[in-house]
Amino acid sequence: MDKGLVKIIKKHASAYQKLLRGAGLDQNTSVMNMFYEDLVEYYMNTGDMPYTKLKGRAVYAWVKNQLEKDGVFGESLDDARAEDSMRVLRGTFYGIEDGNDRLKNLVKNTRDHAAGQKMKKFWQASVVLTKKLEKHLHKNYPDWEKRNG
C-alpha cells in the first residue's frame, strides 16, 4: 500500500474504523467529509481517479472500490463487516448470559412470593431462549466463539 494512502488512513483513523463497520463515505459528518476529501485529492494526484467521468454519488462508490483494490481493508470489505458482525454477536450473546445470571440472583433475593414467581418464569424463559440461540450459533457458525474479538 502506498505511503500516502497509509498516511491518510492514520490521519483519519476514526473515519476509517467507521468505514470498516459499514458507514458510507457519503455520510454528512465532518469526520467522514475530511476523510473523503483527502482520499479524492490523493487519487486525483496519483492520476488514478477519472474525475471528469465521475459525477455525484458515483465518486463515493469509485473511491470505496479503489480503497478495496488498494488493499486498505486488509481483507475484503464484506469479510471485515462479517467479522465485525460476529464480534457484536459474541458481545451480545455474552451480555444475554450475564443478564440471565443477574436475573437469577434477583429472583433468589426477591421476598415477595408473587413477584418472585413471575420473575422466575421470565428468567427460565430467557435461559431457554439463550440455549436455543447458542445451539443455532454452533450449528450455523461452528467457530463463532473462536474468532478474533
pLDDT in tens, 32-76: 899 999 998 999 888 888 867 677 778 888 888 888 888 777 655
* Residue 149: per-residue pLDDT: 45
* Residue 70: per-residue pLDDT: 83
Do 8 and 62 lie in one domain? The reply is yes
Q: Is residue 83 domain-resident? A: yes
Rounded Cα–Cα distance for residues 5 and 42 (Å): 7
Q: Is residue 145 domain-resident? A: no
Rounded Cα–Cα distance for residues 97 and 68 (Å): 37
Q: 96 to each of 16, 36, 125, 130, how far by Cα in Å?
A: 30, 38, 12, 7
- In the chain, the number of structural domains is 2
Do 90 and 124 lie in one domain? The reply is yes
Percent of the chain with pLDDT over 70: 88
* Residue 78: per-residue pLDDT: 58
Do 57 and 100 lie in one domain? The reply is no
* Residue 129: per-residue pLDDT: 93
The residue from 69, 97, 115 where one domain ends is 69
The residue from 69, 86, 109 where one domain ends is 69
Domain that holds residue 119: 77-140
Q: Is the pLDDT of residue 80 over 60?
A: no
Q: Is residue 149 domain-resident? A: no
Do 35 and 90 lie in one domain? The reply is no
Do 44 and 84 lie in one domain? The reply is no
Do 61 and 8 lie in one domain? The reply is yes
